[in-house]
Structure 1
Amino acid sequence: MKRIFLFVATNLAVMLVMSVVLSLLGVNRYLTGSGLNLGSLMVYSLVVGFTGAFISLLMSKPMAKWSTGAHVIEAPSSSTELWLVDTVKRLSDRAGIAMPEVAIYEGEPNAFATGAFKNSALVAVSTGLLESMTKDEVEAVLGHEIAHVANGDMVTLTLIQGVVNTFVVFLARVVGYLIDKAVFRNSDDRGPGIGYMVTVFVCEILFGILASIIVAWFSRYREFRADAGSAKLLGSPQPMVNALARLGGLEPAATLPQNFRSFGINGGGSGFAALFSSHPPIEQRIAALRNAQ
């Protein structure tokens, strides 16, 4: 679950830095000084929106290792580590991808996969998961994570994040320009005024909240798809059903950093919070697997 804090935080931090740098270079003043140049604004928005998303993607694997304290298994030192590496190898071969790095980290039951490229990914499981599940259930969880990698979910999530970031930056500045011109100033011979800056700031927060709902919806969709992928790799949905049922009876995995929660196996929310949840409720995932039988 650590992936959302690092992915989103890094993404937003880079967006902020890029926005400040471009503003200091006079880009905002150029865009609004003598009328809004929509073409230039779109280029500006693309640069700011996608830069953060792609830097977050490229940093995802080292950040995941650092934030979880994950230990990559270079040479298995126990029967559990040997079984874990062999299982990931077998599943990745079935999925047609290169063998990911395999890691273990201390924490409550959870697992995640990350990495910028399909053939150089990382699959990590927690000690809590290994201790609380049977081998068949752990294998199902590993199949779920391998399915994420094979589906290219990390790249797709990055592209979606970049697109929504772009529209947040673009629309916030369009609204800011219109309000600044209509309410706060009467002429176009000056650069952006205080109305523009305040409006852009407020709109980026509001539009960012709406954008996060879109990203969370896709994240939930890919969880269903990864569950189905695990069932396909194992030849039956029952191991994944059993793994999810066991996870449903365990404590939430709060040890993953917030920015990595969308990459974990466990999660979910209810009520209004479900709109922002990266994972569907466990019971919905189990029902989807059973209905697919």
Structure 2
Amino acid sequence: MGVTGPHTWRLRARLLVLGVVLVAFDAVAVAVAYGLAHLAVGLAPLLWSDPGGLFSVGFGTGLLVPVVVVGTPLVLVAQSVFGYRMTLREGLSGATDPSETTPDSIAAMRRKIDRQDAVQSVRKRVDRLAHTADMAPPDVSIVESATPNSFVASRPGERTLVVTTALVEALADEELDAVLAHELAHLKHGDSVVMTAAAFLPTVTDRCRAIAVGVLRRSFLTAWLFDTDGSADARTLIAGQFEIALVVFAVAVLPVVAVLSLASTACYRLLSRIREYAADAGAVAICGSPAAMASALETLTTDHRPDGDLRAAETGVRELCVLPHSIEDDPGDSGGSGGVAGRIGGGWANLHARLLPGSHPDIDDRLHALRDRQAAVDDADESTF
């Protein structure tokens, strides 16, 4: 049974919308980068103590349209290449293919052997399901993690399906097949390419925001203005002739990249929500059992629900996962250090939690849709008798 059906045109239209939104955000990002480049050039005279030359170059917009036209496809290429690498680096950090680990003890060797057996078992399942879906099987990697989850990352010519050891251990055979089919459906529909690329912009803009905050934290000028408790080395790290220019540029950049980070992350999460229902339906088309997919979701959310606020978790791989859990067992404290920096970090996390939508549909809504499909299957079976 293939994944295609009467709603194929809807899947194609949905994928087209995803692509249009991604291109629009790329164009905005290029325009913002163009404006910030002008700002940096305008502030350059401060580097050689020449305030009179500030903004002598001007903020001309004559090249804005050509820059956006040329820069947007270049950004798309960068997203496709580096978004895939970035996603796999984050998802596979700490545990990749077992052949790449070096056992330091008998226990480590046993974990390696167990994971290698699990990889072979999952690969066989994926090969069988991919054959059913009439598609080439992706590469398979297993991450040693206590959080049961899975995701796919792809770019043209490369596709990888990642599952955690906890997922393999938590699910029965039919449930595991359903989750793997869910991930294969993302590949079949083509939305995994768009989503892997879409993960690039929120991550890059948030890192730019963090860099700007770091400049302000380490600045002697801001340390003096806000009377922070940083060390002498930290206060003098960027002090000197670059001080004023860097601080002014960071102050100008921070709100811009913060807004772009929030907007791109909100779009990224909304795209993530849209694709999950279609992937659930695709899993049913491959496996033929809505009940198996529903049972898998119930198992994962009933016994393995994280304690933390999922919406406030760090953006990245979790938007690609079958459930909005972080792959990492201990994502760490994202709030930053104490003092002004700690308050800014905590405020940013709260802003994320308040303003951004969830990355996945409510689990009850997904279960309801799957149960409706199962009821339709049961009715069709009864009508044949």
The TM-score by the shorter chain falls in which range? 0.5 to 0.7
Alignment of 1:1-293 (within 5 A): 19=33, 23=37, 33=58, 35-37=60-62, 38-43=64-69, 46=72, 49-50=75-76, 52-60=78-86, 62-64=88-90, 66-71=92-97, 80-107=118-145, 108-117=147-156, 120-158=158-196, 198-199=251-252, 201-252=254-305, 259-267=316-324, 275-292=356-373, 293=376
Identity %: 26
CA separation of 1:212/1:290 partners in 2, compared to 1, >3 Å: closer, same or farther? Answer: same
Deviates more, 1:126-135 or 1:56-65: 56-65
Q: 1:213 to 1:101 in 2, by over 3 A?
A: same
Rounded Cα–Cα distance in structure 2 between residues aligned with 1:73 and 1:211: 37
Shift of 1:152: 1.7
AA aligned opposite 1:260: V
Change (3 A) 1:232 1:134: same
TM norm structure 2: 0.52
**Higher relative contact order at CA 8 Å, sep ≥6: structure 1 or structure 2?**
1
Give the alignment's Cα RMSD to 1 decimal: 4.2
Give the match for residue 49 of structure 2.
Answer: none
Which moved further from structure 2: 216-225 or 82-91? Answer: 82-91
Q: Measured at CA, do residues 208 and 281 of structure 1 come closer, stay the same or move farther in structure 2, by a change above 3 Å? A: same
The Cα shift of 1:251 comes to: 2.6
CA contact (8 A) 1:160 1:215 kept: yes
The gaps in structure 1 that reach 5 residues or longer are 1-11, 166-193
After TM superposition, give the deviation of residue 139 of structure 1 in Å.
0.7
TM-aligned CA deviation for residue 40 of structure 1: 3.5
- Contact 1:267–1:279 at 8 Å: present in 2 too? yes
What CA distance in whole angstroms lies between the structure 2 residues aligned with 1:125 and 1:162?
21
Q: Per the alignment, in what secondary structure is the counterpart of residue 289 of structure 1?
A: helix
Q: Distance in 2 between matches of 1:103 and 1:222?
A: 22
Gaps of 5+ in 2: 1-25, 44-54, 101-112, 204-246, 326-351, 377-385
| Letter paired with 2:259 | L
Question: 1:180 maps to what in 2?
Answer: none
Rounded to whole Å, the distance in 2 between the matches of 1:36 and 1:141 is 50
Asked whether the 8 Å contact 1:61–1:122 carries over to 2, the reply is no
Is contact 1:96-1:150 (8 Å) kept?
A: no
User: What is the distance in 2 between the residues matched to 1:72 and 1:272?
Assistant: 36
In structure 1, what is the equivalent of residue 6 of structure 2?
none
Give 1:278 shift: 2.1
Using the size of structure 1 for normalisation, the TM-score is 0.66
Deviation track 1:80-137 (CA, whole Å, cap 9, x = no partner) reads: 54432221001112223212112222112111211223x6311122111121111111
Structure 2 counterpart SS, 1:98:
coil
Letter in 2 for 1:276: P
Assess, with a 3 A threshold, how the Cα gap between structure 1 residues 289 and 248 changes in structure 2: closer, same or farther.
same
What's the CA shift for 1:244?
0.6
Asked whether the 8 Å contact 1:64–1:260 carries over to 2, the reply is yes
Q: Name the aligned partner's letter for residue 281 of structure 2.
A: A
Show the counterpart of 1:9.
none
C-alpha distance in structure 2 between counterparts of 1:237 and 1:73, whole Å: 36
* Corresponding pairs, count: 244
